[in-house]
């Protein structure tokens, strides 16, 4: 079976696989030293805070706007710039879950959208939005030829999948919410628009559905997506991904930036017999410390007032810690035992599944999911098989024969909604 060009490249990489050790993080960025010097007048705490703030600010810029040179994949290989120029008007873009950053829109464009003079059914409007850097997670280079704007390069950033907007302007248009998974985004359907893919590859991508992506697909050639998880609430958790593959965020960021986004750099993972290098420059390594600092600064969003019943949630807490036995694994402030152990596949309520996601990972195990902000990102479990937190509570009750009453299951769900 023929896969996307990205798969072919990964297959070549696999053949070249060796046992080289994992690349270690690059040293701290030069910027850090520069800021530290600039802040020399203050106390050492002040200057440490300023250094950290500068690192986080730089990481935010990378998270939102850096493509790591992945235009090589999205433009040169997948020809997505041609697709966008020809056929992706804003209505279509919003329908596949792309989001527009309202704060990047000048007043005249806002007025034009409001009074209908901006044509939301013209691909030229999408190109105009890209020129304004207003499409979340998509970076374009627009050139004007004979007075007409054309998209000549396009790439993606982390924000494509791990940011959404608050819909404050209209559905899909609003202020950025970094770290929130974009569960409307349909990455498979977007990639399937590429003229570079054959029908089998397109069919596989189109089967994924919104809010899901398979980050192992182009490594092992299988196709079974997982839900896009939050990139918030991860401070203090030293096992990253559903399967706990890495000890820090930077491990996975390198993997995604190179293997999935197509960024320029190298990822080596002996446990997966994986070695991929794109290009001759490394546009990834030096950015990882700042990128990680930014994600660690993103706290999980608190449950909105009125979104759960506090009295039932308090009863649910007792079930969680008692008869539900949830705290045996969902322990501590982040509600996970990730720092001490991972779990056999059978401990996931989404298993057994074919193919097993764990079996495609480096650890072949699952991490207990952290639960802060869990109200925000339905559906649940790595495959999205539980639509609601009530479904989660019921799944455990049935599968683990917990013997909880209907009331206890409902209370447990209220507690989960409050975290």
CB of 267 to ligand HEC, least distance (A): 11
Nearer to ligand HEC, 40 or 352 (CB): 352
Nearer to ligand HEC, 109 or 130 (CB): 130
Nearer to ligand HEC, 128 or 303 (CB): 303
CB of 161 to ligand HEC, least distance (A): 3
CB of 202 to ligand HEC, least distance (A): 16
177 burial level (CB within 10 Å; 0-12, 13-18, 19+): buried
Nearer to ligand HEC, 128 or 300 (CB): 300
What six digits make up the tokens of 386?
Answer: 């539980």
Give the binding site for ligand HEC (CB under 6 A): 63, 156, 158, 160-162, 187, 213, 215, 226, 228-229, 231, 234, 240-243, 249, 252-253, 256-257, 261, 291, 295, 320, 324-326, 328-330, 343, 347-348, 350, 366, 368-369, 371, 374, 380-382, 392-393, 396, 412, 416
> How far apart are the C-alpha atoms of 292 and 294, rounded to whole Å?
5
Nearer to ligand HEC, 39 or 350 (CB): 350
What six digits make up the tokens of 218?
Answer: 């182009």
The one-character DSSP state at 343 is B
Nearer to ligand HEC, 85 or 394 (CB): 394
Nearer to ligand HEC, 60 or 113 (CB): 60
Give exposure, 185-208, as e/b (b: 16+ Cβ within 10 Å).
Answer: bbbbbbbbbbebbeeebbebbeeb
Q: Cα–Cα–Cα angle for 340, 416, 384, nearest 5°?
A: 80
CB of 8 to ligand HEC, least distance (A): 19
CB of 394 to ligand HEC, least distance (A): 10
> How far apart are the C-alpha atoms of 399 and 77, rounded to whole Å?
45
Signed CA dihedral, 371, 384, 154, 125: sign only = negative
Contact 324, 412 (CB under 8 A): yes
CB of 393 to ligand HEC, least distance (A): 5
Nearer to ligand HEC, 120 or 395 (CB): 395
280 burial level (CB within 10 Å; 0-12, 13-18, 19+): exposed
CB of 42 to ligand HEC, least distance (A): 31
Nearer to ligand HEC, 129 or 326 (CB): 326
CB of 196 to ligand HEC, least distance (A): 17
Distances in Å between the alpha carbon of 292 and those of 109, 262, 297, 365? 34, 19, 9, 24
CB of 234 to ligand HEC, least distance (A): 6
> How far apart are the C-alpha atoms of 140 and 125, rounded to whole Å?
13
Other Cβ atoms less than 10 A from the Cβ of 143: the count is 11
Q: At residue 329, what are phi and psi to the nearest 5 degrees?
A: -115, -45
CB of 281 to ligand HEC, least distance (A): 17
The tally of CA atoms less than 13 A away on the side-chain side of residue 361 is: 23
Nearer to ligand HEC, 105 or 185 (CB): 185
Q: Is the peptide bond before 379 cis (omega within 30 degrees of 0)?
A: yes
User: What's the Rg (C-alpha) of the chain?
Assistant: 22
Distances in Å between the alpha carbon of 149 and those of 104, 304, 309, 398? 18, 42, 52, 58
Other Cβ atoms less than 10 A from the Cβ of 10: the count is 23
């Amino acid at each position: 079976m023929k896969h996307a060009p990205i798969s072919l490249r990964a297959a070549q990489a696999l053949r070249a696989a060796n046992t080289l050790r994992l690349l270690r993080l690059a040293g701290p960025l030069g910027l850090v030293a520069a800021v530290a010097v600039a802040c020399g007048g203050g106390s050492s705490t002040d200057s440490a805070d300023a250094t950290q703030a500068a690192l986080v600010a730089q990481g935010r810029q990378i998270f939102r706007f850096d493509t790591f040179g992945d235009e090589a994949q999205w433009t040169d290989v997948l020809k997505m710039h041609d697709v966008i120029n020809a056929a992706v008007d804003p209505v279509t873009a919003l329908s596949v879950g792309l989001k527009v950053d309202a704060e990047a829109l000048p007043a005249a464009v806002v007025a034009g959208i409001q009074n209908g003079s901006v044509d939301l059914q013209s691909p030229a409007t999408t190109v105009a939005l890209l020129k304004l850097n207003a499409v979340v997670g998509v970076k374009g280079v627009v050139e004007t030829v004979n007075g007409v704007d054309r998209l000549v390069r396009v790439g993606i950033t982390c924000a494509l999948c791990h940011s959404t907007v608050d819909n404050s302007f209209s559905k899909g248009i609003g202020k950025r919410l970094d770290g929130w998974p974009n569960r409307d985004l349909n990455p498979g359907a977007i990639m399937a628009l590429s003229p570079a893919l054959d029908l089998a590859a397109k069919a596989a991508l189109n089967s994924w559905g919104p809010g899901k992506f398979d980050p192992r697909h182009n490594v092992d050639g299988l196709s079974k997506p997982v839900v896009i998880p939050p990139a918030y609430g991860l401070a203090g958790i030293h096992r990253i991904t559903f399967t706990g593959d890495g000890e820090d965020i930077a491990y996975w960021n390198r993997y995604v930036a190179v293997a999935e986004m197509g960024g320029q750099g190298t990822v080596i993972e002996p446990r997966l017999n994986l070695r991929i290098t794109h290009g001759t420059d490394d546009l990834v390594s030096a950015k990882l410390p700042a990128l990680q600092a930014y994600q660690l600064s993103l706290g999980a969003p608190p449950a909105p007032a009125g979104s759960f019943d506090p009295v039932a949630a308090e009863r649910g807490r007792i079930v969680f810690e008692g008869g539900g036995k949830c705290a045996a694994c969902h322990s501590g402030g982040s509600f996970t035992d990730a720092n001490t152990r991972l779990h056999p596949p059978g401990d996931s309520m989404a298993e057994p599944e074919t193919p097993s996601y764990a079996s495609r990972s480096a650890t072949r195990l699952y991490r207990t999911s952290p639960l802060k902000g869990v109200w925000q990102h339905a559906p649940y479990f790595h495959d999205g098989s539980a639509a609601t937190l009530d479904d989660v509570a019921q799944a455990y009750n049935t599968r683990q024969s917990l013997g909880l009453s209907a009331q206890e299951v409902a209370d447990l769900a209220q507690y989960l909604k409050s975290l």
